[in-house]
Structure 1
Amino acid sequence: MRIGGLASGMDTDQMIKDLMRVQRLPMDKLTQRKQTIEWQRDAYRSINTQMAKYNTNIFDTIMRSANMSAKTVTSSNSSRITATATAAAANSSFTIKEVKQLATAATNVSQGAISADPTVKIDPTQTLQSQYPEENVGDFGWKKGKIQNESLTLTEKQSMINLQNTDFVENQADLLASTIVKVNGKQFEVVTTKDGLKDNQVYFNMVDKKMEFSKDLEIGAKVSVTYATKSETEKYFTSSITTFNTSGVPQVEKFTFQGDKTLNQVIQEINSSPAGVSMFYDSFTDRVTVQRKETGNHNPGGQEMIFEGSFFTNVLKLNTSEEKGGDNAKFTINGLETERPTNNFTINGVTITLKEAFTDSPVTLNVNTNTDKIFDTIKGFVDEYNELLATINGKLKEERYRDFRPLTDEQKEAMSEKDIEKWEEKAMSGMLRNDQTLSNALDRMRSAMYSPVSLSGDNPTFKQLAELGITTSRDFMERGKLEIDEAKLRAAIEKDPDGVFRIFNADGPTSAEKGLARRMRENLAGAMDQVAERAGGSRGKNLNHQFTLGRNITDIDRQISNFERRLKQIEDRYWKQFSAMEKAMQQANSQAETMFAQLFGGQ
């Protein structure tokens, strides 16, 4: 604790503060210098952020053929047929004379009420075992046993897997029917012989309690197996649904449920399975309905959904032969009678959607260049270039107010927030004025944009921007801003959209053979690298020692740290000197008092 002025009566603390204020002047200059460099660094990084954004947007917009070769499709009757086209689609037309029928999904409905008691409807939230009692075993297909589930993730390649719970039900047919094996969600066919084992099959060895696949499963494969074990009190049932894929190959999905499952839980599991069906229970009619998630006829001459197991056939009363729908769309396009399994299909890059059947009046689809989308893409590219140009030019020309140095903490304490804001606005101005790094980058960007593109092939339609109606502003003060002749650009797009695309996206070994967008990205990448070398913050340069201004800041920090130690020593010296003075004055005062007492004490 420092206490001064007791003997002298002087404000020692204030005197030392005043003395130290003079000593701190070099420190304030260092701090101001550091702040200036940080402002300069932030200004550079702001430019780099804008360049990086432009660089990314070029790739995502004008370099995408989906934007620059966009097509639009018009329909003579959009209430009946609509269409979209990819960039690969040629300008063409399609006439659909008639749509005899739309594609439909196969459906099946219970042939009667499904409740066990005709006077009381089933509660889909209660367990099935409680609502379908023991005497209905034959109809329901109950079997005694407990369903076990095992799952594991392989840590090594293997084809043989040992089972943990091995107290199987004794009836081998029941065990085989209840066993479901999946690898990464794909169900395998369970067989009881190894002879001719196929890739989609698994050998279930009931004696040795093992499963064996035709080949090693990969590391990380998720294997799950379900099977029935002995139980005198619990019951389960099994069922399956067979559907057909787009190639007409049957896909069998087996289900095994414990009796404590509710109807809602059973339906939910069926709907989320790879069987590709959608089932729900209607309490009003006391029936269920099942519909394939895919439209079309994938099993010519047969049904799309085949139900097996007492639960489906006896309880839910689903009769495979009563299936409705599952039809292909039938239509005539450009004179050709054809079919599709869906109402949404693609021909030569054009995706056509049939909305209703008709035979009375043909519908025409015309595929043309989407001039508006291509125009908007190019305009966005030019607008963003102009914005970047204006930002960099603004920084290069920004006034530098050298009399407005960064404020010290002490100076800020004496000013209002509004005054501080106004002061710092001028102090931060001109951080990049006439900066050579940005000036060179700007020159390269302008050159890349204005130079002709050397395109291969005979007589390319366009070689430079001016031929598209994009020219440099005549106003010298705008320093290279681009202007668009809208009518001329639209005419160029309509004349040769591929030629317009090439002038921006052509590629080649030399800069002259590269399109304008590719050149711009290369120049932006180079500029960002140079700015990052100076100011960091991107391109992998985030630490002070990796960029020039960062190293300058580190050097100033080191100087500030050294100067702070020196100031501490100076302040300690001042306190020692003033303390010595106070001590001497205290001794002098004490001696004076003693002499006064001796001389005048006897009177």
Structure 2
Amino acid sequence: MAYSVNTSNRISGLASGMDTDTMVKQLMAAERMPLDKLEQDKTWTTWQRDSFRDVNKLLYDLDSKILDMKMQRTYSSKTTNSSSNSVSATATANASNGSYSVQVNQLASSAINVGSDLGLTADGKKIDPAKSLSSQFSNVTVPSSFEFSVYNEDGKSDPFTINIVQGDTLNSVLKKITNSGADVRAFYDSTANKVVMERTKTGNFNTSAATDTTADSGHEIIFGTGFLTDTLKLTQNEEKDGKNADFLYNGKLTVTPTTNSYTINDITFNFNELGTSTVTVRNDIDASYDKIMAFVDQYNETLEKVNGYLNEERFRTYKPLTDEQKKELSEDEIERWEEKAKSGTLKGESILSSGLSSMRQNWYGEVDNTSSFTHLTHIGIKTSSNYMERGKLEVDPDKLKKALREDPQSVHQLFSNDVKGSGRGIINRLEDSIESTMKNIESRAGKTSSVQNQYTLGRNLDNLDDRISAFEDRLVRIENRYWRQFTEMEKAIQQMNNQSNYLMQQFSY
């Protein structure tokens, strides 16, 4: 039993010879039948709440797919094809269909500077980049610092300072350069015994070469004398400068971007090698069709599962098992019983039936807009005429692909015309119905984060808990009363036995 009773001062059949324990248990079994009913009601309500939440999860997943169905790119996906390896391309939904000639005359490259051989240490060994600088380079002062600068996208020089501290190694200093935010990568090559500094960005950002004849003219990574030159043996004029890409668009427009990628008219061209290529852009009908079908399939699956809940048979004779009943059954028997007991938790629930009705109505309705299509049937989509399908969507692939090929913008408007009233797109209407149904379910069954008093079934569970607690207290009082009565009976019988024994003793004299 879930309740506790006071077991002290009990006399169990000593005088009467009766099995008082068994008799009290049998009496209490009858008394606790209403408590079993309350606990079964609580279990059923919990199952019902969880089933509602499972449905809400299905609707949430479907609702999450709606954003994609609102986007123009879903209906106007583009595919590109290039006539050669010199150029590849991608296009957004806004790109114009057609052919584009791209002649790549130069690829963008990044600036790089490689120092001369670092030589040997004092003991005749090659540099160990993991050992401290001061132990291998006699001209390094600790602590100290050095500076370098790089040219940015605005054509200006940005200075950077690197500090050398006690215990720094060649590797740690080069790592400081790399992590300085200068868009420079620095490392030591042990085979060549040289230090490399290179830009992580392609392009020529220092355009001063035409007007400046100094040693720094046109270079990307600038440094004077000091640690970089004296210790790492880097020389300014050894830099191989970065270059901009150079391409000719449609035989007329010359562009020199700093990277090997450039976007014109919502088409991004990627330059792979020198040469000329013709890039063709067209509607990607298959991609758009697949996205629409993926949503239709998920909608149909959601519809089928929710209808399954609504029409699932309820076996009223299979009540939730109590803890005492479970003790008498095997695990397999419990599993088979609960499969029947849990069936029909949402059978005929009006929240779900009205929600599905609203969702189905969205597909039937006409969309009052200025596009070529105002009804789903115009693009080959309709609800099944089979009553058993309960409103599932059917798609004519050829008709849908034809609509996507000829007028993807009108298909987009039919699905997602974000206005109020009769012109509202089908997907927008569906979203309204889904979110309204989800709110109704949350009001009834809450969310996993909800407190029980915030939703209807939760308040029912609180009420059942209170009733169960009160009934358990009542059972304690009833059981104590039974035991008092049996105890008084035992005392009375014992007293009679004592008197009888006394009389027998008197007669024996």
Same fold (TM over 0.5): yes
Query: Does the residue aligned with 1:49 lie in a helix, a strand or coil?
Result: helix
1:89-488 correspondence runs (5 A): 89-97=95-103, 99-115=104-120, 117=122, 119-133=124-138, 136=139, 142=141, 235-258=142-165, 260-300=167-207, 301=209, 302-335=218-251, 336-358=253-275, 362-455=276-369, 457=370, 460-488=371-399
State the shift of 1:115 in Å. Answer: 4.5
Q: Return the alpha-carbon distance in structure 2 between the equivalents of residues 241 and 92 of structure 1.
A: 48
Determine the structure 2 residue equivalent to 1:29: 37
**Structure 2 residue corresponding to 1:17, chosen from 21, 25, 28:** 25
| 1:80 and 2:86 are equivalent in the alignment | yes
Report deviation, 1:67. Answer: 3.2
Question: 1:320-359: per-residue Cα shift (whole Å, max 9, x none)?
Answer: 112114111122221033322111222222221111123x
**Offset at residue 8 of structure 1 (A):** 1.0
Partners of 2:118 and 2:127 within 8 A in 1: no
Structure 1 residue runs without a partner (length 5+): 143-234
Residues 390 and 434 of structure 1, relative CA distance in 2, 3 Å threshold: same
Output one character per residue of 1:222-272: Cα deviation in whole Å (capped at 9) or x when no partner: xxxxxxxxxxxxx33332222111221211112221253111110000011
Q: Secondary structure at the match of 2:300?
A: helix
C-alpha contact (below 8 Å) 1:237/1:256 kept by paired residues = yes
Distance between the aligned counterparts of 1:48 and 1:284, measured in 2?
A: 63
For residues 342-378 of structure 1, give each alpha carbon's deviation from its aligned partner in whole angstroms, at most 9, with x where no partner exists: 11222222221111123xxx31111112222211111
- Report the residue type matching 2:372 in the other structure: T
Alpha carbon RMSD of aligned pairs, Å? 1.8
- How far is the alpha carbon of 1:275 from its aligned partner? 1.4
Q: How far did residue 381 of structure 1 move? A: 1.3
Q: CA deviation at 1:556?
A: 1.8
Please give the alpha-carbon distance, in whole angstroms, between the structure 1 residues aligned to 2:397 and 2:376: 13
| Structure 1 residue 116, shift from structure 2 partner | 5.3
Contact 1:114/1:317 (<8 A) preserved? no
How high is the sequence identity, in percent, across the aligned residues? Answer: 42
Distance 1:64 1:118 in 2: 69
Task: Write out per-residue CA displacement over residues 179-200 of structure 1, whole angstroms, 9 at most, x where no aligned residue.
Answer: xxxxxxxxxxxxxxxxxxxxxx
Shift of 1:467: 1.2
Matches for 1:535-546 after TM superposition, within 5 Å: 535-537=445-447, 542-546=450-454
Deviations 1:254-300 (A, max 9, x none): 22212531111100000111111111112222211111101111112
Alignment partners' CA distance in 2, 1:499 and 1:395: 36
Partner of 2:461: 553
Check conservation: 1:114, 1:287, Cα contact below 8 A: no
Distance in 1 separating the partners of 2:392 and 2:101: 47
> 1:69 aligned to 2:79?
no
Name the structure where helix makes up a greater proportion of residues: 2
Corresponding residue for 1:499? Answer: 410
Match of residue 534 from structure 1? 444
Deviation at 1:11, TM superposition (A): 0.8
Task: Give the counterpart letter for 1:559 in structure 2.
Answer: R
Long gaps (5+) in structure 2: 1-7, 210-217
Where has structure 1 moved over 6 Å in runs of 4 or more?
none
1:572 paired residue number? 480
Change (3 A) 1:259 1:8: closer
Rate the CA distance shift 1:112–1:562 in 2: closer, same or farther, 3 A. Answer: closer
**Corresponding residue of 1:518:** 428
For residues 524-558 of structure 1, the C-alpha deviation after alignment (integer angstroms, 9 at most, x for no partner) is: 111111111111126x7x12222222222222222
AA of the residue aligned to 2:490: E
Aligned to 1:208: none
